Chains A and B, each alone.
Chain A
Amino acid sequence: MILNMSGGAKELAVKVVGGTVQPTGVAGMLWCNTATVIPSWAFAVSAPSSPATGALWIQTDASSANIVNLLKRNAANVNVLRVKQWNGTIWVPLAAYYHNGTSWTQVSATFNPQTDLPFTGTMEYIDDGNGHWRIKYKASGTLTVAQGAAIDIFLVGAGGGGNYGGGGGGLTTNVTNYTLGSGTYSIVIGAGGSGCVTPYTTAGSNGGQTTAFGYSANGGNGAPANSIYGGNGGSAGGKLNSGGTPGENGASNGASTVNATGQGTTTKEFGVSTATAYGPGGGGGENDNSADGGTGGATGGGHGARRYAYAATAGAANSGGGGGGGCAGVNGAAGGSGIVIIRDHRTT
């Protein structure tokens, strides 16, 4: 956006004002919509050092094709990228408007997660209403942060692979009120662990680790070798059964199963009780076609196999779900991939 200061000496000056109510505009006025007192301001390409709380940074291009020959044109054009205010921790983008003597033109916007957080991998933006938002990162990639923000982070490791028992779900990590500064960040999404290579005698593979912003969530364990039990993880995998007993269901929301352990704390997104649970365990297999394989834990754990009837299913993509358990002659299935979710920082 261009601040065009022309037509006389008085208009070459910029008057910066704050407040949350749009003032009566005069030529050269820059109104920044903020309730915080503005003690100082500066035009600068890079962030001013040691700013006082409330200080404004009117961020400009390093160079500009705009004409600044005052003698010839009696005008100066300044290309403003964004107007930001120091809140004591980060520079917060403000909505700002410039008045040219006739009308207001917006020259800066508040933080917009849809445009200020470009990502090279696979992602999904979710508008939660009332200014709240979430972004789900589903495949690894690079995040470029143009504007800082305070966010919450939720990471889920990938699910473990099944053997006879179901794979353990990926573990979860919650981070609240993280200050996301400008820069680039690698987001790594763990891949689901493979199901066992040889039924019973080889273990399912552990799920991959998910990492972002310096935090991590480990993958769930594969169901162990030479065992009928499920793998440990965020929520545990179920065990193989037979003799008319269905395979044990995979656990949900951090719970354990027979001989396999969950993380013991909620695996729900950001710990919100009404949110979706991640990292469910895979269901255990059933070994003699007298009952069903175990159901995968909610949401996304793989279903256990039923001998001679159906194979085990994989954990759902981006659920961190453990793979379903196999049975005699049938491999356990792969776990589901992990996920990273961020949202605007909230207190609830």
Chain B
Amino acid sequence: MNYAMVENGVVTNVIWLNPCNACEFEGVYPVGDMPVAIGDVFDDGKYYRNGLQIQAPTQTDTEKLKTRADAVESAVDWLITTLLGGM
């Protein structure tokens, strides 16, 4: 999983590391699903960019696409049903 390497409160690198090896590296903190990048600020267990706390994404792109596809499909179904039902 991704870990941030932090020096003086600033993320200096984001590295790929197995959790069991995390103790071998000083100043590394787990990132989780958050889009943390080099240059972000780390303070009290939270990451910040431009003063705003970085949050984990709530929905993946695939999920977004599926949501949209489902909405389109529902709309088409409704139209067909309505049109056919009205004929």
Could you list which residues of chain A lie within 8 angstroms of chain B, going by C-beta atoms?
Answer: 120-122, 138-142, 158, 161, 186, 188-195, 197, 205-206, 208-209, 222, 305, 308-312, 326, 329-331, 333, 337-338
Contact = CB atoms under 8 A, between A and B. Distances in A.
Interface in B7-33: 13-18, 21, 24-25, 31
14 contacts: A139-B17, A140-B16, A142-B24, A189-B15, A206-B37, A208-B15, A208-B38, A309-B65, A311-B60, A311-B61, A311-B62, A326-B61, A330-B65, A338-B16
Contact of A310 (B18, B21, B65): B65
Closest 10 CB pairs of A and B: A194-B35, A205-B37, A311-B61, A337-B16, A208-B14, A140-B17, A191-B2, A189-B16, A191-B14, A191-B16
B41 interface: no
Nearest to B34: A194
Contacts of A195: 35, 61
Contacts of A206: 37-38
Contacts of A309: 65
B30 to A, nearest CB: 11
Given A191-B15, A191-B16, A194-B36, A120 B57 contact: no
State the majority secondary structure of interface residues on A: loop
A158 B15 CA distance: 9
B46 interface: no
Interface centre among A122, A140, A310, A338 (most CB of B within 10 A): A140
B64 A330 contact: yes
B61 to A, nearest CB: 4
Contacts of B35: 161, 194-195, 197, 205
B24 A141 contact: yes
B13 A209 contact: yes
Contacts of A197: 35, 57
A136 B23 CA distance: 22
A311 B65 contact: yes
Contacts of B60: 311
Nearest to A160: B37
Nearest to A205: B37
A201 B25 CA distance: 34
Given A206-B38, A310-B65, A333-B61, A139 B13 contact: no
A312 B61 contact: yes
A140 B64 CA distance: 33
B61 A194 contact: no
A139 B24 contact: no
